Amino acid sequence: TQMEKVSIDLYFPRGRSVVDPLFDGNLTTLNRLDSLLYNLPRDGQYTITVTGYTSPEGAYFDNLALGKNRAQELRRYIRLRYPFIQDVIVCDWIGEDWDKLYGMISSERMAYWQQMLYIIDNVGIFDGREKKLMDLAGGWPYKQLLANQFPDLRRVEAVIRYQSAQGEAAIAE
């Protein structure tokens, strides 16, 4: 047997933590999650890690709480639908996902990308990082981040790790 891993991302509107199947492709994601969870062996070895994230706009501690609420809401969604899954769900939250934003800026190389990465690398979260990004080039790059990158940061990631016999088909792909 070997350990398999499947990951899904569920998205949220800005400032929201309620699981909304009708938002941004979530219905397809939730159907995939349901298929995965339904097909987990009841006596198998598996864990589910649910991690909540936010985009950086707004106050840091508000975003941390929002990330926590998002993770807890997906955990609650899973527990209500699959009562046999109780003790295997690990809930975590990051809040502002600067790492993913950094990767997005690096790979997309949008206008002012080097200056944005410099700010993220050299200005602390509590030392005005977001404000410096907002002020860069009259705010235009930040508005682009708001419209194009931030929505992908407002999410919960669920990672399902399960034991499977080597050579068996993956669970419900």
Of 2, 1, 6, 44, residue with least CA distance to 173: 6
pLDDT tens by residue, 79-122: 999 887 777 889 999 989 999 999 999 999 999 999 999 999 99
> What one-letter code names the amino acid at 61?
F
Q: What is the pLDDT of residue 165?
A: 57
Alpha-helical (H) ranges within the chain are: 26-38, 60-81, 98-108, 113-122, 129-135, 140-144, 150-153
Please check whether residue 145 is in contact with residue 101, taking contact to mean a CB–CB distance below 8 angstroms. yes
Q: What is the pLDDT of residue 52?
A: 98
Q: What is the pLDDT of residue 40?
A: 79
- 151 versus 85: the higher-pLDDT residue is 151
Please check whether residue 10 is in contact with residue 158, taking contact to mean a CB–CB distance below 8 angstroms. yes
Average pLDDT across the chain, whole number = 90
With a CB cutoff of 8 Å and minimum separation 6, the contacts of 87 are: none
Is 0.85 topped by the overall pTM? Answer: yes
Q: What is the pLDDT of residue 168?
A: 42
> What one-letter code names the amino acid at 65?
A
Question: In sequence order, what DSSP letters do the residues of 8-46 get, joined into one string?
Answer: EEEE--TT--S--TTSTTHHHHHHHHHHHHHTS-TTS-E
Distance of CA 57 to the CA centre of its chain: 16
Task: Give dist(CA 116, CA 106) in Å, integer.
Answer: 9
